[in-house]
């Protein structure tokens, strides 16, 4: 009896814990309410199944505990019951999977008109790059990185010259505009993670990954690294400030373009920039 | 070929001479029972290391800075070594090398493994892999701190602890382990297929054997992926090849690597790593089925469905690996496929759970220590399985991946749940191994602390994941979104972890004490049906069966058969003329000598 009661108490306790828990999601600050919804659907279905199944077990343990002279039933199979349970389980699985896949389909398709920002990770800091007036990020490569060219931009690529470079780990984004975050790492795996946005993705050296979201609530949020990246992993922090377009623009303009960062006026020609970069040495592997 | 085992009715040349002397009998032994004990004790010993490291980690998480020795480097080294030891060197080795070795020949009515010498070699090779692993604590820079997943480029670059020597020893140890597993695994499979005694058809095998058998097949197919990724990373580290290494800048310096793919490693690792989950789970499923049936005095419900579910899970486990990589940056279209396969695998898994619970229904449940651990396993496994449905469903995984939700999930489902089965199994079969019972009172104390304690650790931990707290963090200093109450919860979890860890020493004491002082058990203390309980001697002697091999007449679950005098009928008891029951029909096969 005691064992059945303890098992049942554990299940009931778990349900109460879930209802009263002060530990719950941070307030959502992006468009990904649908992710939260899918999660809640999963939570309700799995929670209900867990509770019912385990209370049934607790009852069985209490009800059919050994008594002198008692004898167990002999029932090797019950095909009807087994098929029925398999069917019901499949329905439950479908009810969780279907919304999940629908939301995933949104998650991987960047909407038309999304702006682009690059997050560049390195042990153990963040920097960012906006595409500038042309709206296109210039090509970049880890092997071109030097002290003067920390993003490894290609000086031959005119699309990169107006790219706005943000160092210091603080990113600003305008509220309400979908943003495609392009991710690059110079050394090891990292992960761009802002809990309030829900979305996250790894940065992988040697390739470019991406995800998108729409920052919807103005405010200041922490950027964390969520993929183990060495001893400084837990210190790899950044900040993202979501603000109105009117505050965002002036902030963006404070940051130098690639051309400016090389101490050149924008109109200087591409060849000069290249000479300067290569003159510093170490540009070619 | 299945007949080979009967050739040696009466002792043949191979088994005629029992090895003499302590060394031949207990050290360089080719007897599967001795090898099983060697595997088990080695796994427990190295597991204690992992236990102590989990304590040290939890101290840092619950009470940051309280232990001076746990600095950032050591913290990540403990994280890594704890994970690797538990998954590979403890769980895999104990289930297959320990339980597999001991139970396969006894349960199928064989005198030993088919290749006893290779079996012995398997253990010594395993021991070598453990020694190489442990050696990494003593080299300059210490063991690797790359996380048990050993993801490159991080694993072999400066900035990660143990980058100089630790990672090399880790990879060498894994490669040796795979060799050891292969020798053992080929043996288990061949033995199950070739050495079953007369009448022991595949569909009469106890589910323990089914679980171990299919897990071994998975291992033989999955471990090669770990082997090649280990070799390739060694080459990247030692010879400067670029299998997994793109052009990277390390500490301001451009390295010579170029063109390799970190994602390739992840695919190879999880192609091994996901089946590995089931390499640990399936033997657990099998063992717990037999424990529940025996101690509830009732046949396992839906035996055939249980066998098919094991096979289905085994097959599906090879097409779900990339659910570990939803936010890895791989092609996001993979997400559709892997979410689908991952949630499908929940169906055969759910069937197993239903059938365990339905076995209890209308049973005659003896709340012995093995039964208690089985019940605890079901509850823990179901809780962990449910959280798996979050993480498997690709888009739900996005906010939760790399948070404490993941830590809670995998500890419940493949940490605590399998270990509860291991405890249940050890309490259950200890009498057969030693001839003595484990102390029941100590067992119950150990059970309640372990079960309730681990639940207290890992159930609330899911909620830290909901908050969004990232895993593998040395400290949470200055992270504003984490509420103070979360730190309180972390203190609570640490205290629970210390208590649960301490309770394991009670168990070790029980193991040692009962071997000498335990109540003599007799041959079949649980009144069980399977063959290992029907040996002429307890513990079974060399060759297991004395002069004649047992002959099997029925399935493994003839408990409480209506009309039978006792509430169990051993598999080797010949049918009476009027024996009823559905599986009486199986008599036809194999009954006629």
* Confidence tier at A278 by pLDDT (50, 70, 90): low
Reply yes or no on whether the pLDDT at B18 is more than 90.
no
In this complex, the residue of B301, B382, B400 whose CB is nearest that of residue A54 is: B382
**Strands A190-193, A200-203: parallel, antiparallel or unpaired by DSSP?**
antiparallel
Residue B203 is given by DSSP the state G
Residue A77: closest C-alpha in chain B: B302
Q: Share the mean pLDDT of chain B.
A: 93
Residue A88 shares a structural domain with residue A141: no
**Between B576 and B593, whose confidence is greater?**
B576
Report pLDDT for B593.
Answer: 34
In this complex, the residue of A17, A24, A186 whose CB is nearest that of residue B467 is: A24
> Rounded to an integer, what distance in angstroms lies between the CA atom of residue B87 and that of residue B414?
8
Report pLDDT for A31.
Answer: 96
Q: Classify residue A243: in a domain, yes or no.
A: yes
Residue A177 shares a structural domain with residue A52: no
Pairwise CB contact (< 8 Å): B296 & A64: yes
Reply yes or no on whether the pLDDT at B45 is more than 70.
yes
CA-based max dimension of chain A: 98
Average pLDDT over residues B41-55: 97
Closest approach of A55 to chain B, Cα-based (Å): 10
* Confidence tier at A285 by pLDDT (50, 70, 90): very low
Pairwise CB contact (< 8 Å): A231 & B73: yes
* Confidence tier at A269 by pLDDT (50, 70, 90): low
Residue A130 shares a structural domain with residue A32: no
Interface size between A and B, measured as CB pairs under 8 A: 332
Pairwise CB contact (< 8 Å): B481 & A196: yes
Enter the tokens of residue B448: 């309640």
User: Is ipTM strictly over 0.90?
Assistant: yes
DSSP string, B244-299: S--S-EETTEE-S--S--HHHHHHHHHHHHHHHHHHHHHHHHHHHHHHHHHHTTSP
Pairwise CB contact (< 8 Å): B474 & A233: yes
Pairwise CB contact (< 8 Å): B327 & A200: yes
Residue A126 shares a structural domain with residue A218: yes
**Strands B249-250, B253-254: parallel, antiparallel or unpaired by DSSP?**
antiparallel
Average pLDDT over residues B558-580: 85
Enter the tokens of residue A155: 């000086």
Report pLDDT for A69.
Answer: 86
| A219-225 β-sheet, strand order | A170-174, A237-243, A219-225, A190-193, A200-203
Domain-ending residue, one of A108, A127, A161: A108
pLDDT in tens, A90-100: 999 999 999 99
CB within 8 Å of A79: residues ≥ 6 apart: none
pLDDT in tens, B463-497: 999 999 999 999 999 999 999 999 999 999 999 99
Q: Classify residue A93: in a domain, yes or no.
A: yes
Exposure b/e, A73-110, CB count within 10 A at least 16 = b:
bbbbbeeeebeebbeebeebbeebbebbbebbeebbeb
* Region of poorest pLDDT, from A69-83, A170-184, A258-272: A258-272
> Rounded to an integer, what distance in angstroms lies between the CA atom of residue B421 and that of residue B424?
5
In this complex, the residue of A50, A60, A188 whose CB is nearest that of residue B382 is: A50
Contacts of B262 in chain A (CB under 8 A): 189, 204-206
Reply yes or no on whether the pLDDT at A265 is more than 70.
no
Pairwise CB contact (< 8 Å): B360 & A35: no
Tokens 């003499």 correspond to B20
Query: Half-sphere exposure of A244 toward its Cβ, with a 13 Å CA cutoff?
Result: 2
Residue A119 shares a structural domain with residue A208: yes
Residue A190 shares a structural domain with residue A261: yes
In this complex, the residue of A67, A77, A96 whose CB is nearest that of residue B389 is: A96
> Rounded to an integer, what distance in angstroms lies between the CA atom of residue B268 and that of residue B228?
8
Residue B561: closest C-alpha in chain A: A74
Reply yes or no on whether the pLDDT at B9 is more than 70.
no
Residue A256 shares a structural domain with residue A130: yes
Report pLDDT for A277.
Answer: 54
Enter the tokens of residue A56: 């049934």
Report pLDDT for B22.
Answer: 79
Sign of CA dihedral B65, B68, B69, B73: positive
Pairwise CB contact (< 8 Å): A108 & B332: yes
> Rounded to an integer, what distance in angstroms lies between the CA atom of residue B376 and that of residue B418?
11
Contacts of A35 in chain B (CB under 8 A): 395-396, 398-399
Residue A88 shares a structural domain with residue A212: no
Pairwise CB contact (< 8 Å): B246 & A61: no
Q: Classify residue A41: in a domain, yes or no.
A: yes
Average pLDDT over residues B364-369: 97
Reply yes or no on whether the pLDDT at B27 is more than 70.
yes
Structural domain including A128 reads 115-279
Q: Classify residue A284: in a domain, yes or no.
A: no
In this complex, the residue of A25, A107, A122 whose CB is nearest that of residue B466 is: A25
As for how many domains chain A has, the answer is: 2
Q: Classify residue A72: in a domain, yes or no.
A: no
Reply yes or no on whether the pLDDT at A268 is more than 80.
no
Residue A124 is given by DSSP the state T
Residue A170 shares a structural domain with residue A185: yes
> Rounded to an integer, what distance in angstroms lies between the CA atom of residue A192 and that of residue A201?
6
Pairwise CB contact (< 8 Å): A25 & B485: no
DSSP string, B341-352: HHHHTHHHHHHH
> Rounded to an integer, what distance in angstroms lies between the CA atom of residue B119 and that of residue B34?
11
Report pLDDT for A75.
Answer: 84
* Domain harbouring A217, CATH code: 2.60.40.420
Q: Classify residue A32: in a domain, yes or no.
A: yes
* Confidence tier at A187 by pLDDT (50, 70, 90): very high
Residue A95 shares a structural domain with residue A148: no
Report pLDDT for B221.
Answer: 97
Q: How far apart are the first and last CA of chain B?
A: 17
In this complex, the residue of B72, B153, B464 whose CB is nearest that of residue A187 is: B153
Report pLDDT for B588.
Answer: 40
Helix then strand count (H, E) for chain A reads 7, 10
Residue A185: closest C-alpha in chain B: B248
Pairwise CB contact (< 8 Å): A64 & B76: no
Contacts of A45 in chain B (CB under 8 A): 389
Exposure b/e, A236-256, CB count within 10 A at least 16 = b:
bebebbbbeeeebeebeeebe
Q: Percent of chain A, pLDDT > 70?
A: 92
Q: Classify residue A71: in a domain, yes or no.
A: no
Q: Classify residue A256: in a domain, yes or no.
A: yes
Secondary structure in 3-state letters for B516-582 = HHCCECCCCCCCCCCHHHHCCCCCCCCCCCCCCCCCCCCCCCCECCCCCCCCECCCCCCCCCCCCCH
Contacts of A36 in chain B (CB under 8 A): 399
This prediction's pTM = 0.93
Enter the tokens of residue B260: 């390799």
Reply yes or no on whether the pLDDT at B15 is more than 70.
no
Residue A196 shares a structural domain with residue A176: yes
Report pLDDT for A270.
Answer: 52
Q: Percent of chain B, pLDDT > 90?
A: 91
Peptide bond into B153 cis (omega under 30): yes
pLDDT in tens, A115-148: 999 999 999 999 999 999 899 999 999 999 998 8
Reply yes or no on whether the pLDDT at B578 is more than 70.
no
pLDDT in tens, B232-275: 999 999 999 999 999 999 988 999 999 999 999 999 999 999 99
Average pLDDT over residues B380-394: 96
Residue A103 shares a structural domain with residue A146: no
* Confidence tier at B44 by pLDDT (50, 70, 90): very high
Report pLDDT for A282.
Answer: 41
Report pLDDT for B23.
Answer: 80
């Amino acid at each position: 009896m005691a064992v059945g009661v303890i098992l049942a108490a554990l299940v009931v306790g778990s349900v109460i814990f879930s209802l009263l828990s002060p530990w719950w999601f941070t307030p959502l600050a992006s468009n990904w309410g649908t992710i939260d919804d899918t999660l809640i659907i999963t939570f309700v279905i799995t929670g209900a199944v867990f509770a019912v199944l385990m209370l049934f077990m607790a009852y069985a343990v209490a009800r059919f505990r050994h008594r002198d002279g008692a004898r167990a039933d002999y029932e090797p199979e019950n095909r009807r019951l087994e098929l029925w349970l398999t069917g019901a389980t499949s329905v439950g699985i479908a009810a969780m999977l279907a919304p999940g896949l629908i939301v995933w389909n949104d998650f991987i398709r960047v909407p038309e008109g999304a702006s682009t920002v690059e997050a560049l990770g390195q042990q153990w800091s963040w920097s960012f790059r906006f595409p500038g007036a042309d709206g296109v990020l210039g090509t970049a490569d880890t092997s071109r990185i030097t002290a003067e060219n920390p993003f490894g931009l290609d000086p031959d690529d005119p699309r990169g010259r107006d790219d706005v470079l943000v160092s210091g780990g603080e990113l600003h984004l305008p509220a309400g505009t979908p943003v495609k975050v392009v991710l690059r790492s110079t050394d090891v795996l990292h992960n761009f993670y802002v809990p309030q946005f829900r979305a996250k993705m790894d940065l992988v050296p040697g390739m470019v990954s991406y995800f998108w979201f729409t920052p919807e609530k103005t405010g200041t949020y922490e950027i964390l690294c969520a993929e183990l990246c060495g001893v400084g992993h837990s210190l790899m922090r950044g900040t993202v400030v979501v603000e109105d377009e009117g505050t965002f623009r002036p902030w963006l303009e404070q940051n130098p373009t690639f051309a400016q960062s090389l101490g050149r006026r924008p109109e200087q020609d591409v060849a000069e920039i290249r000479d300067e970069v290569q003159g510093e040495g170490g540009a070619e592997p | 070929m299945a007949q080979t085992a009967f050739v040696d009715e009466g002792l043949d040349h191979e088994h005629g001479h029992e090895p003499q002397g302590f060394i031949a009998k207990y050290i360089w032994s080719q007897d599967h029972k001795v090898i099983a004990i060697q595997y088990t004790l080695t796994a427990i010993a190295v597991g204690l290391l992992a236990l102590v490291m989990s304590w040290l980690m939890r101290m840092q998480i619950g009470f940051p800075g309280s232990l001076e020795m746990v600095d950032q480097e050591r913290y990540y080294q403990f994280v890594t070594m704890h994970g690797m030891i538990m998954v590979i060197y403890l769980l895999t080795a104990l289930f297959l090398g320990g339980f597999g070795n001991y139970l396969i020949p006894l349960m199928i009515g064989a005198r030993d493994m088919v290749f006893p010498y290779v079996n012995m070699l398997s253990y010594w090779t395993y021991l070598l892999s453990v020694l190489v692993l442990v050696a990494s604590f003593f080299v300059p820079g210490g063991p690797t701190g790359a996380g048990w997943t050993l993801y490159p480029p991080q694993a072999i670059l400066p900035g990660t602890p143990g980058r100089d020597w630790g990672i090399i020893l880790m990879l060498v140890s894994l490669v040796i382990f795979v060799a050891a597993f292969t020798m053992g695994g080929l043996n288990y499979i061949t033995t199950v297929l070739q050495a079953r005694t007369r009448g022991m058809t595949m569909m009469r095998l106890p589910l323990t054997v089914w679980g171990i058998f299919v897990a071994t097949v998975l291992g033989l197919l999955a471990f090669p992926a770990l082997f090649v990724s280990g070799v390739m990373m060694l080459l990247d580290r030692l010879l400067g090849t670029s299998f997994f290494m793109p052009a990277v800048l390390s500490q301001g310096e451009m390295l010579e690597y170029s063109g390799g793919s970190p994602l390739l490693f992840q695919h190879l690792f999880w192609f091994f790593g996901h089946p590995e989950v089931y390499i640990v789970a399936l033997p657990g499923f099998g063992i717990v089925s037999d424990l529940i049936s025996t101690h509830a005095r009732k046949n396992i419900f839906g035996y055939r469905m249980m066998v098919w579910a094991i096979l289905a899970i085994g097959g599906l486990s090879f097409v779900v690996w990339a659910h570990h990589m939803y936010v890895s940056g791989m092609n996001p279209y993979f997400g559709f496929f892997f979410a689908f396969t991952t949630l499908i695998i929940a169906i055969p898994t759910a069937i197993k759970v239903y059938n365990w619970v339905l076995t209890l229904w209308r049973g005659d449940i003896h709340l012995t220590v093995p039964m208690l651990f089985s019940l605890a396993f079901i509850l823990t496994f179901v809780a962990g399985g449910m959280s798996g449905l979050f993480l498997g469903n690709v888009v739900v995984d996005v906010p939760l991946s790399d948070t404490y939700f993941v830590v809670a999930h995998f500890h419940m489902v493949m940490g605590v749940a399998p270990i509860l089965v291991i405890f249940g199994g050890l309490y259950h079969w200890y009498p057969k191994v030693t001839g003595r019972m484990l102390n029941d009172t100590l067992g119950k104390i150990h059970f309640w602390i372990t079960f309730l304690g681990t639940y207290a650790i890992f159930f609330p931990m899911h909620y830290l994941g909901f908050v969004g707290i990232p895993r593998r963090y040395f400290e949470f200093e200055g992270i504003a979104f984490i509420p103070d109450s979360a730190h309180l919860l972390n203190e609570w979890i640490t205290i629970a972890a210390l208590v649960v860890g301490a309770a394991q020493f009670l168990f070790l004491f029980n193991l040692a004490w009962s071997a000498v002082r335990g109540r003599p058990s007799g041959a079949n203390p649980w009144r069980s049906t399977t063959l290992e309980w029907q040996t002429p001697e307890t513990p079974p002697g060399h060759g297991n069966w004395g002069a004649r091999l047992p002959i099997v007449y029925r399935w493994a679950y003839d408990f409480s058969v209506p009309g039978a005098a006792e509430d169990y009928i051993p598999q080797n008891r010949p049918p009476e003329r009027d024996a009823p029951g559905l599986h009486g029909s199986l008599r036809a096969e194999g009954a006629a000598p």
